[in-house]
């Protein structure tokens, strides 16, 4: 069942109604995208962490009113109470994959003020925002607060203010005609850092221009920008690789790493944080340059940033096998890394991608049997 939860609701429906033929079933094969991709420039990046300010709604003010009717000039205090302001709430859901629904400032509605004739103001509805299952909530200074690891789990970011009492509320035996009422309380105002614990099953790690975006384009329907200059990709993109057994593997194209990234050089350690949120790493190296030195540099940067990251499972992808000099570099790479862990591919021309995808599926399946893949990257510093 956990397996089907990872699929979207539509795919889940198909999967649950599908019965495997007993005798003719073959192992899952990758389904390469066949439909033409759109030509528009629009391509959505993956939001895996966001700083937000949550402001609860203010409570409505109480009303001061002294009722006069034709038969009774002193019909009494009749000011109603104000309604409560709405809360800002996060709710874990399998319907969303990233934090794109979160805006920098999230507000909830204010409660309605009270009216005369004892009419109470309406309570504001809560602002409930869906976030992916496995979202971690931290304070602005990085202190861990909550882990929304089950569907439907909620976390209140900011409570709305209570509505103020109207003057009817203050009537006592002694004070029959109070002319006081309360203001509604102000909603809470807090800042948080929201992070997705697990971004993708596989993350593409490599130096700038290694061909990470090209590889993601080739294996999924994602459309990250590809260009022959470094740092084309500035924000992570996510693509889904589909298999014939209806399993989908998420692959993230990450911005390129350079020497000194762990010291915030280049575009910074923000990039290495994305790497933390992937269960397995696809180390993409350019076979037309020096792949062994590049691979050592990538591993060193990852190790220096977080030593635990180097124990993550890695597959080495030697890209640009179509370039003439690449054969030699591939042989050297295979010699140093072992044949089973190195895949020489050409992302641009689609060479040898099926073998790589089958290996990824094998690793994904073994992870599934070990435990839920999405729960592996807990970062509760």
Among 49, 93, 213, 220, indicate the residue that binds ligand GTP (CB under 6 A): 213
Q: Which is nearer to ligand GTP, 13 or 225 (CB)?
A: 225
Q: Is 233 a binder of Mg ion (CB under 5 A)?
A: yes
Name the pairing type of β-strands 135-139 and 49-55. Answer: unpaired
Backbone phi and psi for residue 320, each to the nearest 5 degrees, phi listed first:
70, 45
Among 65, 123, 213, 374, indicate the residue that binds Mg ion (CB under 5 A): 213
Q: Which two tokens stand for residue 27?
A: 């192992």
Among 21, 142, 228, 307, indicate the residue that binds ligand GTP (CB under 6 A): 228
Q: Which is nearer to ligand GTP, 228 or 307 (CB)?
A: 228
Q: Which is nearer to Mg ion, 198 or 233 (CB)?
A: 233
**Would you list the DSSP string of 310-324?**
GGSEEEEEEE-TTST
- Give the binding range for ligand GTP (CB under 6 A) out of 149-157, 261-269, 329-337, 346-354: 346-354
Backbone phi and psi for residue 160, each to the nearest 5 degrees, phi listed first:
-75, 160
CB-based contact 83:30 (threshold 8 Å): no
Q: Is 261 a binder of ligand GTP (CB under 6 A)?
A: no
Beta carbon of residue 274, minimum distance to ligand GTP (angstroms, whole number): 12
Closest CA relative to residue 193, chosen from 155, 159, 151? 155
Among 165, 212, 277, 361, indicate the residue that binds ligand GTP (CB under 6 A): 212
Q: Is 277 a binder of ligand GTP (CB under 6 A)?
A: no
Q: Which two tokens stand for residue 284?
A: 């993409």
Closest CA relative to residue 114, chosen from 181, 170, 185? 181
Find which of Mg ion, ligand GTP, none residue 228 binds, CB within 5 to 8 Å per kind.
ligand GTP
Distance of alpha carbon 116 from alpha carbon 84, whole angstroms: 17
Among 116, 171, 191, 232, indicate the residue that binds ligand GTP (CB under 6 A): 232
Which single residue is written with the structure tokens 């054969």?
327
SS3 content of the chain, % helix, strand, coil (to 5): 25, 25, 50
Q: Which is nearer to Mg ion, 191 or 232 (CB)?
A: 232
> Which residues 314-343 are close enough to bind ligand GTP by CB under 6 A?
319-320, 322-323
Q: Which is nearer to Mg ion, 135 or 213 (CB)?
A: 213
Among 49, 123, 167, 346, indicate the residue that binds ligand GTP (CB under 6 A): 346
Find which of ligand GTP, Mg ion, none residue 320 binds, CB within 5 to 8 Å per kind.
ligand GTP
Distance of alpha carbon 288 from alpha carbon 368, whole angstroms: 35
Among 32, 122, 348, 359, indicate the residue that binds ligand GTP (CB under 6 A): 348
Which single residue is written with the structure tokens 């805006």?
103
Find which of ligand GTP, Mg ion, none residue 142 binds, CB within 5 to 8 Å per kind.
none
Q: Is 289 a binder of ligand GTP (CB under 6 A)?
A: no
SS3 54: strand
**Would you list the DSSP string of 132-192?**
ETTEEEEETT--EEEEE-STT-EEEEEPPPPPPP-GGGG--SS-SS----PPPPPPPEEEE
Beta carbon of residue 53, minimum distance to Mg ion (angstroms, whole number): 31
Q: State which H helix or E strand residue 248 sits in.
A: strand 248-253
Q: Which is nearer to Mg ion, 157 or 284 (CB)?
A: 284
- Residues forming contacts to ligand GTP in the complex (CB under 6 A) are 206, 208-214, 226-228, 230-233, 255-256, 319-320, 322-323, 346-348
- Residues forming contacts to Mg ion in the complex (CB under 5 A) are 213, 232-233
């Amino acid at each position: 069942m956990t397996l089907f939860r990872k699929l979207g609701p539509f795919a889940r429906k198909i999967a649950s109604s599908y019965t495997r033929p007993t005798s003719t079933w073959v192992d899952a094969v990758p389904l390469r995208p066949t439909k033409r991709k759109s030509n528009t420039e629009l391509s959505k990046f993956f939001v895996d962490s966001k700083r937000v300010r949550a402001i609860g709604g203010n409570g409505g003010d109480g009303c001061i009113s002294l009722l006069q009717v034709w038969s009774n000039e002193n019909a009494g205090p009749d000011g109603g109470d104000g309604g409560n302001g709405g809360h800002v709430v996060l709710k874990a859901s399998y319907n969303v994959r990233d934090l794109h629904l979160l805006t920098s400032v999230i507000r909830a509605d204010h409660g309605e003020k009270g009216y005369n004739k004892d009419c109470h103001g309406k309570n504001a509805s809560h602002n409930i925002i869906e976030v992916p299952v496995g979202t971690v909530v931290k304070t602005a200074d990085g202190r861990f607060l909550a882990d929304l690891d089950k569907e439907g789990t909620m976390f209140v970011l900011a409570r709305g203010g209570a509505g103020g009492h109207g003057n009817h509320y203050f009537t006592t035996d002694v004070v029959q005609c109070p002319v006081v009422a309360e203001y509604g309380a102000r909603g809470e105002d807090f800042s948080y850092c929201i992070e997705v614990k697990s971004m993708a099953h596989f993350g593409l790690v490599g130096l700038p221009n290694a061909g990470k975006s090209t590889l993601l384009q080739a294996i999924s329907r994602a459309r990250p920008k590809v260009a022959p200059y470094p740092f084309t990709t500035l924000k992570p993109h996510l693509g889904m690789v589909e298999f014939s057994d209806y399993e989908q593997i998420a692959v993230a194209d990450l911005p390129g790493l350079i020497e000194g990234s762990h010291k915030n050089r280049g575009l910074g350690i923000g990039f290495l944080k994305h790497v933390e949120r992937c269960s397995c790493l696809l180390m993409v190296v350019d076979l037309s340059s020096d792949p062994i030195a590049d691979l050592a540099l990538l591993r060193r940067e990852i190790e220096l940033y977080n030593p635990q990251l180097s124990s993550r499972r890695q597959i080495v992808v030697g890209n640009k096998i179509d370039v003439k000099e690449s054969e030699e570099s591939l042989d050297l790479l295979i010699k140093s890394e072992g044949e089973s862990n190195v895949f020489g591919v050409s992302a641009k021309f689609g060479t040898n991608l099926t073998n790589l995808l089958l290996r990824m599926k094998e690793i994904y399946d073994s992870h599934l049997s070990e435990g839920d893949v999405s729960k592996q990257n807990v970062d509760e510093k």
